Amino acid sequence: MANWNIKPQLKEDRKMSKTKYRPLDPTELIDTTGMDNETWLQIREHGLGKVPTDPDYIPYTITGSGASAALGVNPWLSDEEYRDKKMGIKPVLEAAFSEESKAAGHVFEPFVAINFLRYMHMNFPETKVKLIKDCIRDILPYLEDACPDKTSYEEFLRSQEKVIESFRKKWPMNPSSMWRCNTKNPDGTLKYPFALANIDGLVEINGRIGIFEAKTTSRRQSIKNYWEVGKIPPYYYWQLVFYMAVMNVDFAYITCIWGVTLQDMAVIYLERDLKIEEEFMDYLSKFVEDMEIGLPLEESKSDPELVSQYYYRLYGPATGTKDTAVELPADCRILVERALELDLEIEEEEKRLAELEAKRAELCKEIQPVMGTNAYAKIEMDDESIYGIKLKTPMKRAQFDEENFKKDHPDLYDEFSVTQLDTTSLGKKYKEMKTKYTLPAEPNPKGQPSFEIYKYAKRA
């Protein structure tokens, strides 16, 4: 059972009341329902202006998904890559984006929303919960291909538009719009003009409006370390902080599913913290200001391996030989020295690990005869603790009985038989032929580059 961190009752005596918030509302830029992806990306990057001379043009914007990247806590996009993308710097190698994952995220949003409402209504029947979300918008881009023809699709749009309009009249804010933060400086200018939000939806709890964010995941580590124990992963936490700042609301709910039942879902409540929010938004403001004046990133806060992956794509595959080795500047000497020291430490730790594993095996071999053919054992360690032991039997890979299958089902055998070239045998008999037709290896944009430090011969 997932660990639910639910707090639907928004008490009047909570630490931060609505009266402490700036009496501002976000600026609605445009309704994005039915908008093509190219136009949506343009608005997401620069607001309503198309060229720098347009009065509504925003040189650099930050949205919810980019906020965590700018802070260096996004596990998929480093702060350096995010900054370079914003400044128009294109890498030599482009990593292919998974359109399937993007589509799945959008299509599953209505399902996440339905399960959120189910859980709230089942467990808090006296709490008034209203979800303000345009589920049609989520699946609209994927319906055109599903319709038999363009006319059918257009008829569907016209019929749904009436339904959507009836909903919008009841909504306090349009969740499908692109919103801009309206927090102002003392002189009346926008304090965070770069901050835009295109949220998943809003939720109304007992008359109070908050953010609704829908997520799906299949990452076991994030499920175990965060969602199941009621914690929000850092990269999503800052996204919610950003959305609350832009939309000027005092709470958010994030719902994440990794299955189809209520047990495979986490619903987590987050209350607005103005101090954290202001520090974060000021950090993003400096991030944008540095881009505007062309200052380099002072120091990346992202995972070093993520940055290294980006450098690999940015500069392209490494080429050359030892004869064409580049001469590093003297200030790199301390980096190489430290790397060599770490290599020695790793080597010593690997030896230590091997010794510990050998000692553990020595202990386990004393237990194994006691267990015999039993796969499981248990032992009472003290008055409160009982430990279990599982003995894993090494197994060969299961083999398909092709011979008997062919005899019993010859028709199916013929249907599913695949003729495949045996390149291994070809290479043994015709080595030059295999070499001739072997295509060169291609760089993997998603690969992780590695460094090997070796010693040259001593100087003459």
pLDDT digits (tens, 9 = 90+) for 351-370: 999 999 999 999 999 999 99
Q: Where are the alpha helices (DSSP H) in 234-273?
A: 234-247
pLDDT value of position 383: 86
What is the per-residue pLDDT for 141? 64
Q: Is the pLDDT confidence value at 201 over 70? A: yes
Burial class (CB in 10 A: 0-12, 13-18, 19+), 124: middle
Residue 8 has pLDDT above 80, yes or no: no
pLDDT at res. 14: 37
Q: Look at residue 128 in the predicted model and tell me its pLDDT.
A: 87
pLDDT for 63: 95
Q: Is the pLDDT of residue 10 over 60?
A: no
**Nearest C-alpha neighbor of 60 from the set 152, 195, 212:** 195
pLDDT, tens digit (0-9, with 9 covering 90-100), for 152-193: 777 776 776 666 676 666 667 788 889 999 999 999 999 999
- Take residue 211 and report the two structure tokens written for it: 């953010």
Give the Cα-Cα-Cα angle 85, 91, 92 (nearest 5 degrees). 165
Confidence check: pLDDT of 220 > 70: yes
In angstroms, rounded to a whole number, what is the distance separating the alpha carbons of residues 171 and 167?
A: 6
pLDDT category, 137, cuts 50, 70, 90? Answer: low
- The structure tokens listed for 395 are 């197994």
Residue 447 structure tokens: 């690969």
The pLDDT of residue 36 is 81
Architecture of domain 18-292: Alpha-Beta Complex (3.90)
* Res. 333: pLDDT tops 60: yes
Average of per-residue pLDDT across 267-279: 95
Mean of pLDDT values over 377-406: 89
At residue 232, the pLDDT reads 94
Neighbours of 439 (CB within 10 A): 5
Could you tell me which residue, 270 or 297, shows the higher pLDDT? 270
Please state the rounded mean pLDDT for residues 121-140: 78
3-class DSSP assignment, residue 390? strand
309-330: average pLDDT: 90
Least confident of 34-43, 336-345, 348-357: 34-43
Average pLDDT over every residue of 410-418: 86
In percent, how much of the chain has pLDDT > 70? Answer: 85
Distance CA 455, CA 459 (A): 11
Q: Looking at residue 22, what is its pLDDT?
A: 45
> Which ranges constitute the DSSP H helices of 128-205?
135-143, 150-168
Q: Over the Cα atoms of the chain, what is R_g? A: 29
Find the range with the poorest average confidence among 76-90, 148-162, 418-432: 148-162
Alpha carbons 84 and 401: distance in angstroms, whole number? 55
What does the pLDDT read at residue 402? 87
- What mean pLDDT is reported for the chain? 85
Residue with tokens 């295999």: 434
pLDDT reading at 378 higher than 60: yes
Look-up of token digits 């700042």: 245
Phi first, then psi: what are they for 216, rounded to 5°?
Answer: -125, 150
Q: Over 70: is that where the pLDDT of 145 sits?
A: no
Query: 101 in helix, strand or coil?
Result: helix
DSSP annotation of 229 reads G
